A and B are shown apart, each in its own frame.
Chain A
Amino acid sequence: MGRTLAEKVWDQHVVRHGEGQEPDLLYIDLHLVHEVTSPQAFDGLRLAGRPVRRTDLTVATEDHNVPTKDLHLPIADETSATQVSTLRRNCEEFGVRLFPMGTENQGIVHMIGPEQGLTQPGTTVVCGDSHTSTHGAFGALAFGIGTSEVEHVMATQTLPLRPFKTMAIEISGSLRPGVTSKDVILAVIAQIGTGGGAGYVLEYRGEAVREMSMEARMTMCNMSIEAGGRAGMVAPDETTFEYLRGRPHAPQGEMWDAAVAAWRELRTDDDAEFDVVVHVDADALTPFVTWGTNPGQGLPLGETVPDPATMDDDDAAATRKALHYMALEPGTKLRDIAVDVVFLGSCTNARIEDLRAAADVLRGHHVADDVQMLVVPGSMHVKAQAEAEGLDAVFTEAGAEWRSAGCSMCLGMNPDQLAPGQRCASTSNRNFEGRQGKGGRTHLVSPLVAAATAVRGTLSSPEDLTPTTLQFA
């Protein structure tokens, strides 16, 4: 029987098959490191007198703690500053390449791998961060790990792992204008649930996926973890190769041809079988937003806040708890929900295409009174590119704040946080209680919905803006 894409990549990385109950030992091609989940791992190496085995397969960046403005000043929060300085010291001591805050290659850890051409088809990629699934967009087997595993990879360049089950997400048809891969993944999570992918590697397939850009594929793979999946993957194709060609760490010359020949083999065989197949109709999708406190609690923007009275006991209890936290009433139109903050950023949606899409919506409009909009490019390269295209001016003229690269308001760890009770339309990946700051309320949205929401002040899609433009133009 044939093999799936995930199984092929797995097979190519088995260092040793486990005996009896032992897991297989898998080789890791690329280890991405950041300041939050690495200090205890470096400490462990130091205590045991172990080096980083392959510094040439390891790269570090500063992202979770960094401020996104006033970079010339020292980091104000003492513990954040310590975490960043600890990473710098560790990278120097162990010989790991680091992209420090404010320098040209710095960015969110899941931006820099693709940007540098380090994330390649058929590689295994790990990082002490659950959104490592992003890199699966290239046909890499990429997944988040904990700090003990970070230390394990540093010491051995391998991980003991058990094979995953496989799930196909078949996305047939084509996305309509205004519908993005963010809407697709939010709809998938709502369909299979936040635990639906547990134990599986998800492979996104079908016409709609083939039509997506690399950046759109990354957005979708990024949130595989929100469906409980260990990883998400897309088979590499011409779109992938074109994205990689000429990037700093992509193969060159004859090596490029050899690499592409190998990459073309990385597709699920026609006679391979997935453990589970999920079908999604791309033509039927519309912009999707979350109303609750986990990423599975989402609905099309045209719907209303759900009513727990119509649900069975377990769902009703979870819904009541979520609605209480979110301060929402059943039956309210999602389009009537007013926000205080709009956040365009994060490893999910802070690439150049996301910024272009949002800027296109904002041009000629202004952010609503009483709404704060934060635009945070995912990397310094994206920042530079956006400024070269004049997007920064579009954002600032519309009344949004233009920042430097970092995780920013995705996770409530750096100065960019919601105040208690504030409501935010966010292009990030998690709407958990307090995720964007204690007491903050999050609605997950696409960049298009974020921009339209900023203009109207309530959850909106770009089509809601058109009459206003005509009327007042």
Chain B
Amino acid sequence: MDAFTTHTGIGTPLRVSNVDTDQIIPAVYLKRVTRTGFEDGLFASWRSDPQFVLNVEPFSRGSVLVAGSDFGTGSSREHAVWALMDYGFRVVISSRFGEIFKGNSSKAGLLAATVEQSDVELLWKKIEERPGLELTVDLEAKTVTADDLVVRFTVDDYTRWRLMEGLDDIGLTMRHADDIDAYEATRPAHKPVTI
């Protein structure tokens, strides 16, 4: 995973709340067995609408998505995160995220930044007034800067540290292999096995 410290890119407003992961990428696009190539499925059912924000220049070149509340609810498909990243997004901003989506983002290196809904509204206003405006997302300072507007976001400290270091979770857990061995030795004998 690439380390994430700051990112600057065009802000794309998505004025929709309750965007579930079926909207981010419909199931029919989940059939690849690779980890890349999901950009075509991103918001697939909305992309046929010429007015949809990803069909409007310069928002189509955005890398910071500013979305309505409850973004990424529903299905656990990590493909939703991959589709956003394959398209070019590095940051998604919302006032509330689906929990599995938020977890998946942190594993794959997409920053899911939680801000107040009133700040989402301010960001939308800014980037719609000046299409193509670049936002700077500073993970160290936990701020989003849009011209003269500075908004604070929250992200849990452990996720922030892992993203800033670009650390792989499995590698971190492997350092505790002894603890796992010790735990396994104490598991009750009645626990099920699959074979």
Q: Could you list which residues of chain A lie within 8 angstroms of chain B, going by C-beta atoms?
A: 15-16, 18, 21-23, 25, 27, 29-30, 36-37, 39-40, 43, 48, 50, 55-59, 64-65, 77, 79-80, 82-83, 86, 97, 117-118, 120, 123, 128-130, 144-149, 151-152, 155-158, 160, 162, 194-195, 198-199, 225-226, 228, 230, 249-251, 255-256, 258-259, 262, 294, 314, 318, 321, 411-413, 430, 432-435, 438-439
Contacts and interface: CB of A to CB of B under 8 A. Distances in A.
Contacts of B22: 411, 430, 432-435
B30 A258 contact: no
B99 A412 contact: no
Interface in B67-105: 69-70, 73-79, 81, 96, 98-100, 103-104
Contact of B190 (A56, A258, A433): A258
A434 B75 CA distance: 13
A199 B161 CA distance: 21
Q: What are the 8 closest A-B residue pairs judged by CB atoms, nearest first?
A: A148-B107, A146-B104, A146-B78, A79-B31, A39-B33, A259-B190, A413-B27, A144-B76
Interface string B155-184: 011100100000001101110110110011
B50 interface: no
Given A23-B158, A156-B180, A146 B98 contact: no
Contacts of A225: 74
A413 B33 CA distance: 14
B180 A412 contact: no
15 contacts: A15-B183, A21-B156, A37-B77, A40-B33, A79-B31, A82-B31, A97-B194, A97-B195, A117-B192, A129-B76, A147-B79, A148-B78, A156-B173, A432-B22, A432-B23
A33 to B, nearest CB: 10
Contacts of A226: 74
Given A29-B191, A120-B192, A294 B173 contact: no
B22 to A, nearest CB: 4
B150 interface: no
A370 to B, nearest CB: 26
Nearest to B69: A195
A190 B179 CA distance: 43
A236 to B, nearest CB: 13
Most chain B beta-carbon contacts within 10 A, residue among A129, A147, A321:
A147
A15 B179 contact: yes
A162 B106 CA distance: 14
A347 to B, nearest CB: 12
Interface in B121-138: none
B78 A37 contact: yes
A23 B172 CA distance: 11
B20 interface: yes
Chain B interface size band reads: 35 or more
Contacts of B98: 198, 228
Given A25-B173, A148-B107, A149-B107, 4 more contacts: A97-B195, A129-B76, A434-B23, A438-B28
B85 to A, nearest CB: 12
Nearest to B33: A39
A57 B194 contact: yes
B2 to A, nearest CB: 15
A195 B74 CA distance: 10
B46 to A, nearest CB: 9
Given A15-B176, A27-B180, A118 B192 contact: yes
B141 interface: no
Contacts of B23: 432-434
A59 B194 contact: yes
Nearest to A258: B190
B55 interface: no
Contacts of A145: 76, 100, 103
Given A83-B33, A160-B172, A258-B188, A27 B194 contact: no
Interface in B1-57: 16-18, 20, 22-23, 26-28, 30-35, 45
Contact of B173 (A120, A158, A411): A158
A195 B179 contact: no
B193 A21 contact: no
Contact of A294 (B20, B30, B156, B172): B20
B187 to A, nearest CB: 8
Contacts of B31: 36, 65, 77, 79-80, 82-83, 413
B180 A158 contact: yes
B190 A37 contact: no
Contacts of B107: 146, 148-149
A145 B176 CA distance: 21
Given A56-B193, A123-B192, A318-B18, A16 B78 contact: no
A144 B184 CA distance: 23
A123 B194 CA distance: 14
A318 B45 CA distance: 18
B189 A258 contact: yes
A147 B78 contact: yes
B99 A199 contact: yes
A58 B194 contact: yes
B151 interface: no
Most chain A beta-carbon contacts within 10 A, residue among B31, B70, B188, B193:
B31
B99 A36 contact: no
A82 B30 CA distance: 12
A194 B194 contact: no
B45 A434 contact: yes
Contacts of B79: 147
Contacts of A156: 170, 173-174, 177, 180
